[in-house]
Structure 1
Amino acid sequence: MRNRFHFQPRYFLYWLLLFAFGRAAFLLYHWPQHTADLDAGTILRTFVYGVRLDGSAAAYLCLPAFLLLAVAGLFPRWRGARALGAYTAVVGTGVALLTTVDLELYRAWGFRLDSTPLQYLDSPGEMAASAGSAPILLLVGIFLALLALGYGLYRWLLVPLPLAPTWFQRWRAVLVALLYIALLVVPLRGGLQQIPVNQSDVYFSTQWPFANHAAINVPWNVVQSLPLGELRQNPYQYLPDSAARQAVAELYRPAADSAPVQLLRTARPNVLFVILESFTAKLVGHLQGERGVTPTLDSLARTGVSFAQLYASGDRSQKGIVALLSGYPNQPTTSIIKFPRKTEGLPNLARSLGRQGYQSAFYYGGELAFANMKSYLLAAGYQRLVERQDFNRRDQNSKWGAHDHVLFNRILRDLHQAPPQPFFLTAFTLSSHEPFEVPMRPRFPGRDEENQFRNSVAYTDHALGQFLRAARQEAWWDNTLVVLVADHGHTLPGESALPSPERFHVPLLLSGGALRPEAAGRVVRTYGSQTDVAATLLAQLKLPAAEYAWSRNLLAPTPPAAPGGFAFYCFTDGFGIVTPAGELSVDNVSRELIYRDPQVLDQQLHQGQAYQQESFADFLRR
């Protein structure tokens, strides 16, 4: 006999089953073009991995129903069955409609349904034209079949809705209903982990992007993208489009005497790409920062190649990673990494080097689901991802995950056992992120935030030094180029103002056994951005970089339009541009200058405006 208080779990299960049927419809609909290429295990994993987003979507849909049942608990003789049935019918129809529309739009567009179609609501002619070749009768049949399936499942699983037991007091009935509502918090967030569930959590395949797409829950994807979907027009229209395009093109036009500079003594070295969390130039001695915090980096500057004027493209980790690995500029009020269908079209160093036979891996001691990084990295072609769950729990001695010395030790162990040749290994540190917890005796006394930050940077620098000393004893070292760069700067120490370039000034160093001896101690003073690292690296490997349209080789002569180079960066609804002539920053809302060095010419202002306008236009087009 069914019990009234078994109803909530069955209702949650109802939506999970309905989403599973929708995924099955998606896989069957795309069988000839995509699904037939997948093995049975991969198909099964689309359901296994997809259940986290399914559970989150189901929990959201259960909330109104569970609230209704809580109210019904006050009235023992009222089932609330009609109201619940009506709610389920309306929402179920919407889910079936979204599932059906997604089937054909994915075939045409190559990404799962999100808020993009909303931009066509004011142009029904374009919408009708887009659907002109769709098999309407087939889609209507699928829609009706999903409705029938939902109705039958509801009748089988949830009808009738039992009355509460006569001996069960009203307050106890309401309390049980509220308990069920509280339990929804876990599936709403996708689990008990620190970061709420997102698309990255269901991406699992490095070989089949379609399999990752199949694991996405469409209703969840649509609702999640609604706030992001408002970005349909370029709010940064400073100049006529033709003038903006021309100004940006001149910034990337190579100089006539662009003779290549070669720093490597081997044609295809391994590449060890280390991204250092929050390493601001303010704490790096060889960049005129504080002395004694980063002795490892300062020593490497004397034996390797240092770039004295590199600036972060943005102020968050996810923005820095895209800028570094894809050579793509940031956006002021959002980040392209939030849009998996956009990032899938970006170039990426893992993919570029993969075409040359490089084996790629990304190591991070934290959770790669953070800020959708996992979906970005899998779409980029990384063949192996190592993250928090791959480390022993005893080594996860930080709020964010495994500390940096644990991360580096894992890399050493893996490369010592069977290093692939050549390899492109990216490591992203985390210990210098807030709350600055490090397993090392403080080098700088005091519990104030600035000294805690200094200690965290000093710890990571120390762990890096130990790692590099051990790496020099490995057989792969002599054929390895090490790239060391920060993901972004920091307001500390000194509480740098948000628009100030000192907040974005970061280190970039080249080291490793693959460098020519005569490169030792070289200082590159060209002004550049994180976006320029990709083209600079590919030029050293003598590989094409044409697809990295927003990246330029920092070791080549600078363009005539920007003698000495330039660095563009974004902050919250504003931008800055730095050149040897000076700095300026602009507020995008008021369109007023925040700061401008007296010697900075109007040309630099126009270049910054053009760059902001064109880079965001490119973002919208993707």
Structure 2
Amino acid sequence: MKKFYPYIAYFGFWVFYFIISRVLFLVYHHALSGGLAASEILKVFLYGSRMDLSFASYISIFPFILFFVRTAFVTINIEKLIKIYTIIVIVFISFVTTADLQLYTAWGYRMDATPLQYFRSPKEMGATVSSSPLLLLLTIFIMLSVFFIWFYKRFIGPCIRIKPGKFSILNLSIALFLIAFLFVPIRGGIQKIPMNQSDVYFSEKLFADHAALNLPWNIAFSILNQNNKENPFDYFPAKKSGEIVNELYNTGPIKIPSILSVKKPNIIFIIMESYTAKFVGSLGGDPGVTPNLDKIAADGLLFTNIYAAGDRSEKGQVAVLSGYPNQALTSIIKTPTKTQQLPSITTALEAAGYHTSYTYGGELEFANIKSYLVNTGFNKLISKYDFPAAERTTSWGVHDQYVFNRFYNDIKQEQQPFFATLFTLSSHEPYDVPMAPRFKGADETTKFRNSVAYTDSCVGVFINRLKNDSLWQNTLVVFVADHGHPLPGYDRNDLPSKFHIPLIFSGGALKVKGVVSTIGSQTDIVKTVLNQLDIPSGKFTWSKDLLDSSARSFAFYSFNDGFGFVTPAGIVTMDNIARKIIFEKGKVDSAEVNNGKAYMQLSYQDFLNR
């Protein structure tokens, strides 16, 4: 039996590592762990053990093969090779384990393949994480790596140095069997279907399910399946899902009031970074953070029930400009060959004689946004490299005050009619705005609040300048956020308050003021604007007119492997892995739940088919 200690010790070492890393996850997120009963915490480890065994098996394949080779050729020294291999794996897994601790706080789900799309922009990645507790995370990473390297050398290394004895066909057969047997825990057992994330989901509390996941297993699974051509949201037969969604967009006689005093006005889109409704006073948010935007809303048309389609900037761009829904497992913007096939408000307006431009103070290459903007046909793209070096004072690029100033000067010279889009950036992490703090405090929420207030001040300056210009009377200005934010309050990833955002129509070309309470999404902006201009909008099949009183009042949004569906009756969110409702508010019947399921299924199939 002693000759098989290396197999047992090495495999057990990695199981122990994953148990400790799960303890670390629970401790780091102690506020959420405190909401779990002792029995639920025990189940986190019990249900998670299948994934632990699975990934321990993956890691053990290479050492087991070396053990087998040594059994066949007893003079071969393999200890050093295994030690180097193990140290490399320890350091790598410790790094992603540590990174996941903070990413879960920010994103609300365990790390998967999503961060890989940001590796092309290391500066922006650095800016994103710079507001994280880097010293704490670095300490955790070092301690985790050092402890397990020490543990391996002290306890596992001596076991591996055990000699297998004389050559034996029996020993060789057993060693070969142990290698082959690893594939049983790798697939999660001998059942017909290999293990997936849903096998460890056991609780109505999503955090408990997330804690049960084995992180490196989850990352590997996501990477291997990100190019999967099968639709994982298979709730209904294809025909049925189409019928359900078509019914959502079927309207009676179209009833769209005219809100413009100009037939062909200039159109300005201001897409505001992370502008959650929780900071907009006119939407019931914290008062005093956005006084300029609130004044604009009072003088314009305020849409009070609008939700972001997704939770990232690049997803918001596609929803706003193409009226296209977000994908829960990926983003269509990652695949330029697919975005080439999307309709866009840009091409629709250019066909009507508009000149188009897009201005951003950061790098347009971030998250593949530039390829999408090129595919949508913008005549002119402005990025941080078009600004003087002296104005690139933020880790992201150029602060909003300089971007708005450049934007104003550019549209003054633009041939009319024009469609000009500006994407702000100063309210993105790390919230390092060039303004004396309006709100006292050094915590992350206060920093974010101050950054939103700073961008609001820039908006105020820009609108005042525009109002004093002849352009104003011939211009419609649309304000909308790219996505919401978990702050303030650290909203769970699926909650509607995280996705609730402002949408405001303003400008001298607007002849109607007031409040529109229709429930809608970023995807509905395109059709709403184009219909006012009498420009064909039939290509935007995932968009509805927010001013059409005969249109269905609803909003769909998606998050990592799940969706939210908002109606006048209430709100429901659903996790696709567990196939269960995880949040419900109001009286949402089964028909509305089915509407959300069908929307998720059909929209993802549309993405796959492009």
> TM-score of the superposition, structure 2-length normalised?
0.64
Select which of 410, 422, 433 maps to 1:427.
422
- Counterpart-to-counterpart distance in 2, 1:588 and 1:263: 40
Give the conservation status (yes or no) of the 8 Å contact 1:532–1:551.
yes
* Matched residue, 1:574: 562
Give the conservation status (yes or no) of the 8 Å contact 2:274–2:484.
yes
Select which of 537, 548, 556 maps to 2:529.
537
Question: What is the number of residues matched between the two proteins?
Answer: 398
Could you say what secondary structure the match of 1:309 adopts? strand
Give the conservation status (yes or no) of the 8 Å contact 2:350–2:356.
yes
Q: By how many angstroms is 1:195 displaced?
A: 6.6
Give the conservation status (yes or no) of the 8 Å contact 1:255–1:557.
no
- Counterpart-to-counterpart distance in 2, 1:473 and 1:598: 46
Could you say what secondary structure the match of 1:525 adopts? strand
- Counterpart-to-counterpart distance in 2, 1:436 and 1:287: 23
Write out aligned runs for 1:125-204 (5 A): 194=124
* 2:431 equivalent to 1:436: yes
* 2:297 equivalent to 1:301: yes
* Matched residue, 1:163: none
Could you say what secondary structure the match of 2:432 adopts? coil
Select which of 548, 552, 568 maps to 1:556.
548
Q: By how many angstroms is 1:540 displaced?
A: 1.1
Q: By how many angstroms is 1:476 displaced?
A: 1.6
Q: By how many angstroms is 1:300 displaced?
A: 1.1
* 2:599 equivalent to 1:611: yes
Q: By how many angstroms is 1:231 displaced?
A: 2.4
Write out aligned runs for 1:218-367 (5 A): 230-256=227-253, 258-367=254-363
* 2:445 equivalent to 1:453: no
- Counterpart-to-counterpart distance in 2, 1:230 and 1:367: 26
* Matched residue, 1:413: 409
* Matched residue, 2:517: 525
The alpha-carbon distance between structure 1 residues 228 and 382, as it changes in their structure 2 partners (threshold 3 A), is farther
Q: By how many angstroms is 1:193 displaced?
A: 5.6
The alpha-carbon distance between structure 1 residues 591 and 487, as it changes in their structure 2 partners (threshold 3 A), is same
* 2:496 equivalent to 1:493: no
Deviations 1:38-65 (A, max 9, x none): xxxxxxxxxxxxxxxxxxxxxxxxxxxx
- Counterpart-to-counterpart distance in 2, 1:419 and 1:334: 36
Q: By how many angstroms is 1:558 displaced?
A: 3.8
Could you say what secondary structure the match of 1:438 adopts? coil
- How high is the sequence identity, in percent, across the aligned residues? 48
* Matched residue, 1:593: 581
* 2:360 equivalent to 1:372: no
- Counterpart-to-counterpart distance in 1, 2:321 and 2:364: 15
Deviations 1:126-162 (A, max 9, x none): xxxxxxxxxxxxxxxxxxxxxxxxxxxxxxxxxxxxx
Q: By how many angstroms is 1:415 displaced?
A: 2.4
- Counterpart-to-counterpart distance in 1, 2:458 and 2:303: 22
What is the root-mean-square deviation of aligned Cα atoms in Å?
A: 1.8
- Structure 1: any 5+ residue segments left out of the alignment? 1-188, 197-224
The alpha-carbon distance between structure 1 residues 513 and 320, as it changes in their structure 2 partners (threshold 3 A), is same
Could you say what secondary structure the match of 1:248 adopts? helix
* Matched residue, 1:148: none
> TM-score of the superposition, structure 1-length normalised?
0.62
- Counterpart-to-counterpart distance in 1, 2:321 and 2:423: 12
Q: By how many angstroms is 1:597 displaced?
A: 2.6
- Structure 2: any 5+ residue segments left out of the alignment? 1-118, 127-221
| Aligned partner letter, 1:557 | S
The alpha-carbon distance between structure 1 residues 343 and 228, as it changes in their structure 2 partners (threshold 3 A), is farther
- Counterpart-to-counterpart distance in 1, 2:225 and 2:339: 14
- Counterpart-to-counterpart distance in 1, 2:252 and 2:291: 36
The alpha-carbon distance between structure 1 residues 376 and 455, as it changes in their structure 2 partners (threshold 3 A), is same
- Counterpart-to-counterpart distance in 1, 2:540 and 2:446: 39
The alpha-carbon distance between structure 1 residues 307 and 190, as it changes in their structure 2 partners (threshold 3 A), is closer
- Counterpart-to-counterpart distance in 1, 2:450 and 2:240: 48
Moved over 2 A (4+): 189-196, 225-231
The alpha-carbon distance between structure 1 residues 333 and 261, as it changes in their structure 2 partners (threshold 3 A), is same
* Matched residue, 1:156: none
Give the conservation status (yes or no) of the 8 Å contact 1:277–1:429.
yes
